[in-house]
């Protein structure tokens, strides 16, 4: 092989390696189902069997909390019935709620989401809907409303049933929906809580720490400083589950891991996914709302209004791989056919589209001002002016011709 050919091949190999190095290495996790999503754009950055139906265990309580917050006043006082506490299997977590105890919805919610108390779930479900079956129907209706397709709930707490299932993607949808509510957001980011004294507990002696070690600074290696929630889950059938959100530098990500290898692995898996997101992706505002896209001329507009500014109707923000040169992204602009006056300021006159990482982001193009059509009279004046100009030119031409003849 000639030296030149060897050098050429060597350079190709170097270029290939450099290009390959810019690609993000996919994270390795133990969970059998998972998803990682940037919350503001909804872009999925990683998924593993994300739509597979799996047992959600206590991550179910995300939906329970949503429905309670939307259907109750937090100051409401609930009197605990015997039926609400009669179906909790041995070994499931409770917070020692007693029949006849009078306790607020707010305190029950903290018991539900911080301690993951299964008795609180039943008490709240019965308070909202009268029966567990009615509440389960509400859960399924709400899940369908927010776009869940692989979910069916039969209880408010995730106690195992073969008919009780969800998916990593559906749990992400529930978490995203919940985190838009300030009460929910405060609830799932709380690391410790103490239930007040009640008619059945003379002292405020029921204190508990969050089951979510990702947000607990005292949990050692499982702690993640950017985490702000959301909910753990475990049964022997579901394995170790975790729905978590992380926020840093204006970037928020939700990660869901289902059936992780063990308790520690669910935290390690989420941390791995979050680190992958922050290391490789960033938010970029490509265009701000009302930015000038272009200026075009509308042929039948009046002289004063025919130059039309084209404005974008909303900010386009993308989540992009840091290796991409966003200055090289050229938009596709499509204007409506046969744009003619009259046009009103704010009218949709076209669309603009950007493609980043094979994902399309689009917005409408609006008219930046009114374009007034030329009237018949103004057209008559224009034509008359042209005719007069032609006549004048003709007369001048004839005069010049006569002068030349006289000189001869």
Dump pLDDT digits (tens) for 116-136: 999 999 999 999 999 999 999
User: Quick one: pLDDT at residue 405?
Assistant: 59
CATH 2.60.410.10 in the chain, residue ranges: 288-367
Q: What is the largest CA-CA distance in the chain?
A: 130
| Per-position DSSP letters for 90-103, written without gaps between them | TTS------TT-EE
| Residue 146 pLDDT exceeds 60 | yes
We find that the CATH architecture of domain 33-281 is 3-Layer(aba) Sandwich (3.40)
User: Quick one: pLDDT at residue 13?
Assistant: 39
User: Quick one: pLDDT at residue 14?
Assistant: 42
pLDDT one-digit tens code per residue, 22-34: 456 899 999 999 9
| Residue 16 pLDDT exceeds 90 | no
Rounded to two decimals, what is the model's pTM? 0.83
* Of the listed ranges 40-44, 71-75, 101-105, 391-395, the one predicted with least confidence: 391-395
Candidates 160, 154, 77; CA nearest to 123 is 77
Share the mean pLDDT of the chain. 91
For residue 19, what pLDDT band results from cuts at 50, 70 and 90? very low
Average of pLDDT values for 171-185?
Answer: 98
User: Quick one: pLDDT at residue 391?
Assistant: 84
User: Quick one: pLDDT at residue 260?
Assistant: 98
* CA–CA distances in Å: residue 375 to residues 300, 343, 347: 9, 14, 21
DSSP at 55: -
* CA–CA distances in Å: residue 400 to residues 33, 388, 389, 390: 92, 18, 17, 15
Tokens of 186: 């405060």
The phi, psi pair for 301, rounded to 5°, reads -80, 160
Rounded Cα gap, residues 51 and 169, in angstroms: 6
| Residue 240 pLDDT exceeds 50 | yes
Average of pLDDT values for 163-172?
Answer: 98
- Domain 288-367 has what CATH class? mainly beta
Average of pLDDT values for 53-65?
Answer: 98
* CA–CA distances in Å: residue 190 to residues 69, 241, 285, 384: 16, 19, 32, 79
DSSP at 291: -
Please enumerate in sequence order all residues whose Cβ is within 8 A of that of 139, keeping only pairs 6 or more positions apart, or say none: 63, 64, 67, 153, 156
Average of pLDDT values for 279-300?
Answer: 95
Label residues 37-53 b or e (16+ Cβ within 10 Å = b): bbbeeebebbbbbbeee
DSSP at 182: H
To the nearest whole percent, how much of the chain has pLDDT over 90? 82
Rounded Cα gap, residues 271 and 257, in angstroms: 11
* CA–CA distances in Å: residue 323 to residues 22, 66, 359: 6, 38, 16
Instruction: Estimate to the nearest angstrom the gap between the alpha carbon of 367 and the chain centroid.
Output: 29
- Please say whether the beta carbons of 158 and 92 come within 8 A: no
User: Quick one: pLDDT at residue 256?
Assistant: 98
Average of pLDDT values for 287-295?
Answer: 95
Burial of 61 (0-12, 13-18, 19+ CB in 10 A): buried
For residue 189, what pLDDT band results from cuts at 50, 70 and 90? very high
For residue 394, what pLDDT band results from cuts at 50, 70 and 90? confident
* CA–CA distances in Å: residue 14 to residues 1, 19, 20, 21, 25: 19, 9, 10, 11, 19
User: Quick one: pLDDT at residue 379?
Assistant: 55
User: Quick one: pLDDT at residue 65?
Assistant: 98
Candidates 318, 329, 342; CA nearest to 42 is 318
User: Quick one: pLDDT at residue 357?
Assistant: 87
Rounded Cα gap, residues 182 and 122, in angstroms: 23
Average of pLDDT values for 209-235?
Answer: 97
CATH 3.40.710.10 in the chain, residue ranges: 33-281
For residue 401, what pLDDT band results from cuts at 50, 70 and 90? low
What's the chain's Rg over C-alpha atoms? 33
For residue 6, what pLDDT band results from cuts at 50, 70 and 90? very low
Tokens of 244: 């978590």
């Amino acid at each position: 092989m000639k030296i030149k050919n060897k050098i050429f091949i060597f350079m190709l190999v170097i270029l290939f390696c450099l290009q390959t190095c810019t690609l993000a290495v996919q994270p390795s996790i133990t969970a059998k189902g998972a998803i990682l999503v940037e919350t503001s754009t909804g872009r999925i950055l990683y998924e593993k069997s994300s739509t597979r139906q799996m047992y959600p265990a206590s991550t179910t309580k995300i939906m329970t909390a949503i429905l309670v917050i939307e259907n109750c006043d937090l100051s409401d006082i609930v009197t605990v019935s015997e039926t609400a506490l009669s179906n909790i299997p041995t070994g499931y977590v409770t917070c020692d709620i007693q029949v006849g105890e009078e306790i607020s919805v707010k305190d029950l919610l903290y018991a539900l989401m911080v301690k993951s108390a299964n008795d609180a779930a039943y008490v709240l479900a019965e308070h909202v809907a009268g029966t567990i079956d009615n509440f389960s129907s509400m859960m399924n209706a709400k899940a369908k409303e927010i776009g869940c397709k692989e979910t069916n709930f039969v209880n408010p707490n995730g106690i195992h049933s073969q008919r009780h299932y969800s998916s990593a993607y559906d749990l992400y949808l529930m978490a995203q929906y919940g985190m838009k509510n300030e009460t929910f957001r405060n609830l799932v980011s709380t690391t410790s809580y103490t239930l007040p004294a009640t008619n059945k507990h003379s002292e405020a002696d029921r204190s508990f720490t969050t089951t979510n070690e990702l947000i607990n600074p005292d949990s050692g290696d499982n702690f993640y400083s950017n985490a702000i929630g959301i909910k753990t889950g475990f049964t022997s059938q579901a394995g170790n589950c975790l729905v978590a959100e992380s926020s840093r530098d204006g970037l928020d990500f939700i990660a869901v891991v289902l059936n992780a290898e063990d308790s520690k692995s669910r935290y390690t898996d989420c941390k791995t996914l979050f680190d992958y997101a922050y290391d490789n992706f960033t938010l970029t505002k490509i265009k701000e709302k009302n930015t000038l896209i272009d200026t075009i001329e509308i042929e039948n507009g009046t002289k004063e209004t025919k130059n039309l500014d084209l404005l974008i109707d909303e900010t386009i923000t993308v989540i992009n791989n840091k290796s991409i040169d966003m200055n090289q992204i050229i938009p596709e602009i499509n204007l409506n056919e046969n744009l003619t006056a009259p046009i009103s300021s704010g009218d949709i006159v076209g669309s603009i589209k950007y493609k980043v990482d094979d994902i399309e982001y689009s917005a409408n193009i609006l008219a930046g001002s009114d374009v007034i059509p030329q009237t018949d009279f103004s057209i008559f004046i224009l034509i008359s002016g042209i005719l007069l100009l032609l006549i004048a030119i003709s007369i001048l031409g004839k005069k010049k011709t006569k002068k030349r003849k006289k000189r001869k």
